[in-house]
Structure formats: structure tokens, C-alpha cells
Amino acid sequence: MSKILVTGGTGYIGSHTVVELQNAGYDVVIVDNLDNSSIQILDQITEITGKKPEFYELDLCDEAATVDLIAKNPDISGVIHFAAHKAVGESVQKPLKYYRNNFFSLINLLTAFAGREVNFVFSSSCTVYGQPDKLPVTEEAPVKRAESPYGNTKQIAEEILVEVSGANSNYHVISLRYFNPVGAHESALIGELPIGVPQNLVPFITQSAIGKRGPITVFGDDYNTPDGSCVRDYIHVVDLAKAHIAALRRQEEAKMSGNFEIFNIGTGKGSSVLEVIKAFEESTGVKLDYKIGPRRAGDVEQVWGDVSKAENELGWKAELGLEDMMKSAWAWENYIKEHPFN
């Protein structure tokens, strides 16, 4: 079976994808600088799968170190690239941090594979669509001016990948534009582990529910949505992880049409912030303390995806619902309360 490099593999989506890769029989090499994750996640992955992935602590913004690593691993045939800063709100406040990290890491990685055949799965985002004209949004929707520096890094990264794969047929690239990943592994051994105050809704909900944070702020209740709060397509992180396996298999089986493809990865259904809060309360029996605040810079009003292309061409479909997402996130929050991470 192939050896796959997973960048950012101790992070939230990365760790779940490593588990699914190992369960599918792949050998995995993780690269992570541990900037927003914990080395302890390696032990958690090992406990779930019975196999410890190979690990390198390395910053992909270091070109020489990245090129050296890839040169020393000639049997790597595929890459799943997660390593990037990803908080919309922080990117508005610290744009240079996002441009420096997200571009340099990608360019160095592509440079390191120059002259080698490689299957490359890129972690993109629905943020590339901005506020779509039509919903659900399809892969053919125009890419609008990004609402945040984070979204802009995903747009430009995709442009880089289009041009690099167009200039060199050795690069086979699939960009997965996913919506809002939430939830945790059913074992409750891995999940979202934000450093500091969570930038995303669900970990803030679980931390508030367990008493680690104060009231939840709903950023705006005056949007043009059914209940006035922002609407997103929330997808269970395990479903999302499995989409990366489907993308790799499409590449390995030479089923791609051209050297660059894009797929939406979501459930195809939108849920509002207030609906997520209600789903958490109903699925866990825990009441939440929340308040309405002003709108947040960079937030899109509503977006959810048309995922029929992924279903038809990748043979992948989301299977877990909002209740599963909330229950698993809550089980994970309770686990880390009893087993704190460094």
C-alpha cells in the first residue's frame, strides 16, 4: 500500500484523516510543527488504530528542511496538505501571519516534489465562494473576492495548484472545498483541540457547556436567514476524513479528468448558529448560556454546498448528522477534561 505524507497530521482534521488512512491500510508519515496541536495526539492515533504513524516535527516554511525531508522519503506517493492557519477572525486581525505561513508552506512542499510523480490532495474551503449568488453552491460557482485573508489564501493557493499542475503533468491535484467540520472520533480519543480561546463555534459551545468559557456569543441575529443567525453546512470530521481517502483512490486509479479537480465536501444542508445551539442542547441534555452580539468581520451570511459531484465521481457521501456531531464533540470535551493535553 502507498505511503502518504499528511502535513498538519496532528491537527484536528489531519489526525482524523490519519486514522482513516491507517484503517484503510496506508502507511502514513506526519509532518507538523505542533503550532496548533499536541504531540500526545500521536499516542491517541496509535491507541485507535494499533499503529503509530511516522512523525517529523518540522515547519514547512523552512524550505531547506522540507526539501531534505521529501528527498529522504522517496517512497512517498501522495500528500494530503492540511498545514495552514485557519481562523477567519484571526486572519482579519493578522493577515501577514496567514499569507506568510499558508503560501510559503505550500510552495516549499511543491518545490520539494519537483521532478517526482505525486498525488496531492489540498485542504481547501468553501470560503473561496464568498457569499454565493445561488444556493446550494456548486463547484462551477464563480470565486468571488474573499471575505477574509484566510479565504484569500485558499483562493490563491488553488490558483498556484492549477498553474503548477498545468505546467507539470507529474502533479495530480484534487482540491477539496469543505464546509464546516465539527464533531470528534467515536472513541472520543481525538477531536478539535484549539489553543487558547476557540475561534470556531462548536468547540466554544462545548467549552462553555463544561464551564471553561463564559456565555456563547452569537455574532448577529439580523442576517437574511430564517432565524437571523449565520447559516453553514456543518460536516462531521470523520465523514470529511473519509473524503480524503476517496480523493486519493481516484488519483491512484487514474480516474481524474486532467491534472486538477475540485470537489465540494459537505452535507448539502445548511444549519444556523441558533439551530446548532439547539441541536447541542437536545442531543446532550445540557442547557447553554448564550447571548446575541454584533456581526463579526469576515463572516459570510449563509453558505451550503451542492455535493452531488463528490457523491457521483468520488463515490463519497456524508453519513453522520448534526446530532452525531454534537454528541461526539461533547464526549471529546468530557474526555479532555479528565485527560488534559499539554
Contact by Cβ (8 Å): 221, 275: no
What is the model's pTM? 0.95
pLDDT at 145: 86
pLDDT at 86: 85
Q: What is the pLDDT of residues 299-324, one digit of tens each?
A: 889 999 999 999 999 999 999 999 99
Has 234 been annotated as catalytic? no
Q: What is the pLDDT of residues 5-30, one digit of tens each?
A: 999 999 999 999 999 999 999 999 99
- Residues 40, 47: Cα–Cα separation, whole Å: 11
The answer, yes or no, to whether the previous bond of 132 is cis (omega within 30 of 0) is no
**From 26, 98, 129, 150, the catalytic residue:** 150
Q: pLDDT tens string for the chain (342 positions)?
A: 689 999 999 999 999 999 999 999 999 999 999 998 999 999 999 999 999 999 999 999 999 999 999 999 999 999 999 999 988 888 999 999 999 999 999 999 999 999 899 999 999 999 888 888 899 999 999 988 888 899 899 999 999 999 999 999 999 999 999 999 999 999 999 999 887 888 889 999 999 999 999 999 999 999 999 999 999 999 999 999 999 999 999 999 999 999 999 999 999 999 999 999 999 999 999 999 999 999 988 788 999 999 999 999 999 999 999 999 999 999 999 999 999 987
pLDDT at 1: 64
- Residues 187, 163: Cα–Cα separation, whole Å: 41
